[in-house]
Chains A and B, each alone.
Chain A
């Protein structure tokens, strides 16, 4: 229950933001894995847009549509090769009105 409430709150927050989603070309990908590392698992809480979620098989999945391109997941998980991280194509992604 707590998780559901938290999740809806983040979605409410992200709803205020402007995005131009590059459909079908996510800029971050999670490599297939059996069990996520501690850092990858932590991203399900630490990612400020809650892009990372644990699926029923215990693996971490990403939906990058609400990504604010902060780079936290890159800092935590790119070196280990668990995620592949790029900026969105020019003009796509989050568009801050105020910043």
Chain B
């Protein structure tokens, strides 16, 4: 179907693929981007929070026309048990700035916009095209891709694999292993539509201000998981995700967890009267630093979720995706400018550049967190949330019990649940993994 040879083929039109395609095309490279969805975004799912700094580095004036929902002025971190939540809220008027730091977005709309920028930069974007195979030459170098369209072989100097968390092509080609059930989370989400003024009233925001809630606790039923609620302009994204290994071991249903979250007394009034217009599911890379695969080889690089680049602790994914896509593109541009071949040796530049960025530095900082949370999920996601709620209630409730007795009861409850040694060792392990 396409006879020409491209400088680069980008597989996938999500955050990392669009960042890579835009960066290469705007530097004059001949880029072909292939997307299996009907339109870019039609297969993509995210919470979604978008971090401005990382997009500014790609499209500085994105605020002029990108479809942004609300800029975040308030973040609520909740620990939930069955009837309560204990929270840390941070709200600041400083977040009402000329160029806000974080926005909620709706991916199908955002990705269409990003893809339009990619095309305006000069890339050829072909949708409804599933890449079925990588083409390799006699020396095992990746030289192109085959698609499910007629006559499907297309050749390029380098293939950027921005194929998403499942990473079908790369794993089938043996470039990296398939993600393990304990290194990916399954998240489900619903889009709850409400009038703009109702959202403003319920969350105490005005105009484009937005609020997010992220919650751990008994809502994940002892599994390592997180519930989230993000305010969009006229809708609320509400979802919950847990590790796939936990779902399988506990034989739990994600939609049952989602429905339980929706009926939790702290969440229910926030979504009351809403109209649900979509239900979605997606995997999220959770393995962190230790799950990062080989990132480059002869004729290929891998970026974004396919490279498992996701910061589960800070719930950052799309910014790591965009940044890895941009950096891979910059490495390719650099190699191309020297008229050098896209060999493994030359493309190592991508990893060297990524290692120096916040992407790898952040993941390295938390390299021991996934193992800690996954192996002690019952303590961190059920025992402590219950203890915290009891302690808070004990503190708040006034019933004639002397305060000294209340404090003793709270301390005794913690010791009974985890023992003195258990409490100290949980704290030390958490501190060490966080450090």
Contacts and interface: CB of A to CB of B under 8 A. Distances in A.
A and B: interacting chains: yes
Interface string B167-196: 010000000001111001010101100000
Interface stretch (B80-88, B153-161, B277-285, B392-400): B277-285
Interface string B269-296: 0000000111111110000000000000
B279 A13 contact: yes
Interface in B233-287: 235, 244, 247-249, 251-256, 259, 276-283
Interface in A5-58: 6, 9-10, 13-14, 16-17, 20, 38-39, 41-42, 45-46, 48-50
Contacts of A46: 186, 244, 247-248, 251-254
Contact of A96 (B44, B166, B283): B44
A4 interface: no
B77 interface: no
Interface string A57-99: 0000000000011111011101100000111111101111111
Given A16-B276, A90-B127, A96-B44, A72 B256 contact: no
B111 interface: yes
B36 interface: yes
A4 B42 CA distance: 30
B108 interface: yes
A74 B279 contact: no
A97 B108 CA distance: 6
Contact of A89 (B41, B148, B178, B259): B148
B79 interface: no
Contact of B43 (A17, A94, A98): A94
A24 B199 CA distance: 44
A97 B109 CA distance: 8
B128 interface: yes
A46 B256 CA distance: 10
Contacts of B282: 68, 70
A10 B127 CA distance: 29
Given A16-B276, A45-B252, A96 B41 contact: yes
Contacts of B253: 6, 45-46, 48, 50
For chain B, which range describes its interface: under 10, 10 to 19, 20 to 34, or 35 or more residues?
A: 35 or more
B45 interface: yes
B279 A16 contact: yes
B58 to A, nearest CB: 20
B111 A99 contact: yes
A54 B45 CA distance: 29
A75 B106 contact: no
Contact of A90 (B128, B181, B186, B256): B128
A39 B45 contact: no
A42 B248 CA distance: 6
Interface core residue of B37, B48, B107, B247 (most chain A CB under 10 Å): B37
B247 A74 contact: no
Contacts of B178: 74-75, 78-79
A13 B280 CA distance: 9
A38 B165 CA distance: 24
Closest A-B pairs by Cβ, 3 of them: A91-B128, A99-B107, A48-B281
Given A78-B178, A98-B108, 15 more contacts: A38-B248, A42-B248, A70-B186, A70-B282, A72-B186, A90-B149, A94-B43, A96-B42, A97-B108, A97-B277, A97-B278, A98-B107, A98-B278, A99-B44, A99-B108
9 contacts: A16-B278, A17-B278, A45-B251, A46-B253, A72-B283, A75-B180, A96-B41, A96-B42, A99-B43
